Structure 1
């Protein structure tokens, strides 16, 4: 059967993609970020990951507010990389495994998650800004993607608890898939940041560190927090952290963090973590 071999939490700031595309890996302002992803890329290579399941949010690229689903899964052999105003990126389309994606969709619906399903839609920086830092892409990606979009833009949002349960349901779906695949779960977004209003530029490193600690050892505490508490502690956009809860829910009860890079040099703490299940 398919097996979950670990999880990754990562920021998905759009400027990561712009900096990568413009070759700023050694720029002093960017080097601490890019260096932090090198161990992640090595870990994925060592683990021989076949599939990355991405919990991410769409930034009005695939969907818009006139029809914005709470949860949506992409099913298709490929997905184009969205042009978000910076020009077409020199990345190959994301590869999909239709049989696996369809199995996860059916399993989630039978597990009482009412999903929207999309195909042939572009995927934006919520997924693609960190991806080339972790996975080689020339001439093509080494494996396939299962994109699962979560609404963190238009209220009412799913609760942290609901996102945590979504991750648990995805685990059940993956473990019931008969093909021998090595699967990594990725949760994107956050951490503390706000990009509009009176608190524009707000960050809270203490909250970020607390969140990362609880995510590893006591995610139940985080699942109980209301959206207002995430916003108060981390800024309006830090509610994206509920997508990290989906990643954590797909892992076992006990995990160990094997890598962390935290770089508060931009509008948000650009963070990447790697988790393995504790034996």
Structure 2
């Protein structure tokens, strides 16, 4: 059967793409942030997963406020970056994975999830920045990607508990898929941050460290928060924790934390990084 070997929680800040594009990784502002990715890249190189399931949120590119699905999953052979600006140079398309994707889709519908199925879909920095971080030089085309988009922009949004349950359902679907594929799961975004309004620049690193702890030992404790709680505690965009919870839900067995990092602020965000290995 296919096997999920681990999960990675990572930032997807668009400014990261600019920093990599301009070779700024070693500058004082960025050095601590990028150094955290070295052990994660080494793990990926050692394990060499064939498939990545990436939980991300679309920032109004493909799914604007007039058409905002709660959950969407890609089933395309390829995904093109069509980001909303930032001056990033064109980057290679992302290689899709369709066979496992369709299996997951069928299993989700069978078990009472109803995702939007996208056989064509453009993607933004929510997906491409994490892939570029994991595979420097945009060398991510070697890994097949299944994008899973979670609404974190327009109310009503799925609850943390529902996102965790989605991850669990996807984890079970992968485990029931024939073959010996090695799969890694990425939860992107966050952690605490607010980009606009009266609390613009708000961070809560105490809560971020709590999240990093409980993602490992007690993820269900985090599912007891409402989205309104997360907005109050972690800022308006703190609901991106839901992608981390979906990632954690996919890891059905015991997990071991191999690495973590938190650098704040990075582009007005608490940029978390965490590597979990699925035992």
| Aligned residue in 2 for 1:177 | 177
Query: Match for residue 99 of structure 2?
Result: 99
Consecutive unaligned residues of structure 2, counting only runs of 5 or more, are none
C-alpha separation between the residues in 2 aligned to 1:136 and 1:100?
26
User: 1:88 Cα deviation (Å)?
Assistant: 5.5
**Partner residue of 2:277?**
276
Cα deviation for residue 277 of structure 1 reads 2.4
Decide whether aligned partners of structure 1 residues 140 and 127 sit closer, same or farther in structure 2, where only a CA change above 3 A counts.
Answer: closer
Give 3-state SS (helix, strand or coil) of 2:107's partner: helix
Q: 1:272 to 1:140 in 2, by over 3 A?
A: closer
Partners of 1:16 and 1:130 within 8 A in 2: no
How far apart, in 2, do the equivalents of 1:29 and 1:177 lie? 43
> What TM-score does the superposition give when structure 1 sets the normalisation length?
0.96
Residues 56-80 of structure 1: CA distance to partner in whole angstroms, max 9, x if unpaired? Answer: 1000111111111000001111000
- The answer to whether the 8 A contact 2:231-2:239 is kept is yes
> Taking structure 1 as reference, are residues 107 and 263 closer, same or farther at Cα in structure 2, changes over 3 Å only?
same
Partner residue in 1 for 2:44: 44
Is the 1:3–1:174 Cα contact (8 Å) retained in structure 2?
A: yes
**2:230 — aligned with what?**
230
1:55-204 aligned at under 5 Å gives the runs 55-87=55-87, 89-136=89-136, 141-204=141-204
Output the aligned Cα RMSD: 1.4
SS of 2:123's equivalent? coil
In 2, Cα distance between the equivalents of 1:154 and 1:42? 37
The yes-or-no answer on 1:9 pairing with 2:6 is: no
Q: CA-to-partner distance for each residue in 1:77-129, whole Å, 9 max, x for gaps? A: 10001232134634210001211111111111111110101133211011111
Task: Report deviation, 1:139.
Answer: 6.1
Distance 1:65 1:49, change over 3 A: same
What is the rounded CA distance, in whole Å, between the counterparts of 2:247 and 2:61 in structure 1? 22
For residue 180 of structure 1, report the CA deviation from its aligned partner.
1.4
Deviations 1:37-65 (A, max 9, x none): 11111111111111110011000111111
